[in-house]
């Protein structure tokens, strides 16, 4: 499981907490960016490395140790999760009479998806949403909305 903090710019009640696994020391601060600086200084002061990808490890650590932080699992959805998500979207679409969005709305939604940090691509080809697994099928459906919290685009029905 890989966790990331969703609302990085907010002050969390009780503050964010980071626990250094190597030394066992914990640090708390209401601002995530300040806590990250404190954690890095602590690692350097103890001659501990700050490896590539440390920021992601830091966020996951803070998510595990900060009960009031709003975090999200960033692991890609399983094939079962993808199938379930698409099935629900298609069932809702069918109940509403198969409405599709106008081309202009489709283009807007597509542009939003391509700029989203949750979209994935390999070799320049869009491969899907890390949240729901959609490969842009849902952006054409009037009954669908973006699965992010808060949604980046909304349904028209």
pLDDT of the residue at 11:
75
Residue spans of the domains in the chain: they are 3-73, 79-140
CB 76 within 8 A of CB 132: no
CB 17 within 8 A of CB 28: yes
pLDDT of the residue at 29:
93
Radius of gyration of the chain (CA): 19
Question: Which segment, 2-16, 48-62, 126-140, is predicted with the most confidence on average?
Answer: 48-62
| pTM score over 0.95 | no
């Amino acid at each position: 499981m890989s966790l990331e903090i969703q609302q990085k710019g907010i002050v969390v009640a009780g503050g964010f907490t980071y626990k250094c696994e190597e030394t066992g020391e914990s640090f708390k601060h209401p601002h995530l960016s300040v806590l990250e600086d404190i954690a890095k200084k602590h690692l350097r002061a103890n001659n501990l490395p700050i490896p590539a990808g440390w920021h992601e490890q830091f966020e996951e650590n803070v998510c595990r140790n900060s009960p009031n932080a709003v975090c999200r699992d960033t692991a890609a959805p399983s094939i079962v999760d993808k199938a379930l998500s698409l099935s629900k979207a298609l069932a809702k679409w069918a109940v509403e009479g198969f409405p599709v969005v106008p081309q202009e709305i489709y283009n807007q939604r597509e542009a939003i998806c391509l700029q989203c940090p949750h979209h994935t691509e390999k070799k320049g080809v869009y491969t899907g949403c890390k949240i729901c697994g959609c490969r842009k099928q849902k952006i054409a459906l009037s009954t669908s909305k973006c699965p992010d919290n808060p949604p980046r685009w909304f349904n028209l029905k």
